[in-house]
Amino acid sequence: MSGNRFESIAQELLSSAGIVINGANPWDIQVHDKRFYQRVLSEAELGLGESYVEGWWDCTAIDEFITRIHLSKLEEKVRGNWKIIFHALKAKLFNLQTKARSLEVGKKHYDLGNDLFQAILDKRLVYSCGYWKDAANLDEAQEAKLELVCRKIDIKPGMTVLDLGCGFGGFAIYVAKKYKAKVVGINIAKKQIELANELGKGLPVEFRLQDYREVEGKFDRVVSLGFFEHVGYKNYRTHMKTVDRCLDENGIAFIQTIGGNTSKTRGDAWSNKYLFPSGMIPSTAQIGKAMEGIFVAEDWHNFGPDYDKTFMAWYQNFEKAWPELKKTHDERFYRIWRYYLLLCAGAFRSRYLQLWQIVMTRPGTEQPNVRIS
């Protein structure tokens, strides 16, 4: 197929989404390298992201560009090439989230440097979706989210809490300070754990560099915020069994996770390569199957549009911080993170992705008083 033919097909596809190549709208893309057309048609989301990182195209409002792509379901029209099939087959054949492989995401993303996350996140360093119902800024949205979780799990002074994938310890420290609970946080990102231990000094918190499958002990509450996306579909059941093993007889379990509208067995190829190795977005069916016979879903709350606002707040902070960050990071890093933050904002804005909070108890236990707002 000639280069002109690839360009013609790409123009036709993008036009159906209201996107004009070299157009004047903020969501229109400016193509600098004609190899872009063949690459994006043959490699789909991987080719689109990589060609942006390499400077083959630009766009003023990538978030709006991505929103239009999802709303028009363009990704379904460029599937089927052998590279995507290979990645899907690899995910089916191999467990990409073994204990050894799980360390990759810590090294590749979360250990990039605390200076980066301190620049873009809120004052508590919470790296998951905020709750914007009554919030005016990122700090308020994240505090509202932490408080929402505490209300849903009915946290009380003296309780023991296990925080799976604890990040920088934002939730654990909040719970320890406000509710006087004792918290154990586990994580596989060394730099996050180091900073969490520093921030949590003097509080009843313990942060461990540990795989979630190795946790022992019993806890009144078991919580994970933005961790389930790293588990992988082959381990969803293992995750639920681990929570069950660690949860006290009458305890409450809680998950906050990004969710997908359909069940998939592979993650986004670009995100897997550049940001979250072996990451995967679960569906309602996959989570439900993993819970079956172990837990009752007491409450399933979706506030996905709030992640659009959260990612845009992170992006604005990233842009403000870039003059300082570029002293230690190059232009390629800038393009990867700009694309990542705006890609995700567009995915939530289009409702391609959801954000779920799920409250779980064991069958036969008393129903908790779940309060959404």
The full set of domain ranges for the chain reads: 3-79, 98-361
Q: Which of 226, 222, 254 is nearest to 168 (CA)?
A: 226
pLDDT bucket at 105, cuts 50 / 70 / 90: very low
Query: For 188-225, what is each residue's pLDDT tens digit?
Result: 988 999 999 999 999 999 999 999 999 999 999 999 99
pLDDT of residue 85: 37
pLDDT band per the 50, 70, 90 thresholds, residue 80: very low
Least confident of 51-55, 108-112, 354-358: 108-112
pLDDT bucket at 33, cuts 50 / 70 / 90:
very high
pLDDT greater than 80 at residue 342: yes
CB contact at 8 A, 135 and 144: yes
pLDDT given at position 155:
96
Is residue 261 within 8 A of residue 75, CB to CB? The reply is no
Predicted pLDDT at 92 = 47
pLDDT, residue 6, reads 85
pLDDT for position 267: 86
Instruction: Classify each residue of 118-149 as buried b or exposed e, where b means 16 or more C-beta atoms within 10 Å of its C-beta.
Output: ebbbbebbbbbbbbbeebeebbebbbbbbebb
pTM > 0.85: yes or no:
yes
Phi, psi angles (nearest 5°) of residue 27: -90, -5
Question: What does the block give as tokens for 218?
Answer: 């019993």
pLDDT score recorded for residue 104? 45
How would residue 369 be classed by pLDDT, with cut points 50, 70 and 90? confident
Q: In percent, how much of the chain has pLDDT > 70?
A: 88
Nearest to 261 by CA among 372, 353, 180: 353
* pLDDT computed for residue 99 by the predictor: 53
As a whole number of angstroms, the distance between CA 1 and CA 20 comes to 22
What is the helix (H) or strand (E) element at residue 290, kind and residue range? Answer: helix 284-291
Please tell me which residue in 59, 150, 166, 344 is annotated as part of the active site: 344
Tell the CATH topology of 98-361.
Rossmann fold (3.40.50)
Going through 231-336 in order, the beta strands assigned E by DSSP cover 247-260, 296-302
In this structure, are strands 160-164 and 219-225 parallel, antiparallel, or unpaired?
parallel
Assess contact for 223 and 153: CB atoms under 8 A.
Answer: yes
Segment 278-300, tens digit of pLDDT: 789 999 999 999 999 999 999 99
Instruction: Let me know if 344 is a catalytic residue.
Output: yes
- Token pair of 331, please? 């232009």
pLDDT value, residue 77: 63
pLDDT tens figures, 138-158: 999 999 999 999 999 999 999
pLDDT greater than 60 at residue 101? no
Q: Note the pLDDT of residue 114.
A: 86
Would you call 33 helix, strand, or coil by DSSP? coil
> How do beta strands 247-260 and 219-225 pair?
parallel
- Asked if residue 93 has pLDDT above 60, the reply is no
Q: Which of 80-84, 163-167, 173-177 has the lowest mean pLDDT?
A: 80-84
pLDDT at 98: 53
- Rounded-to-integer distance, Cα 181 and Cα 198, Å: 18
Q: Is the pLDDT of residue 97 over 80?
A: no
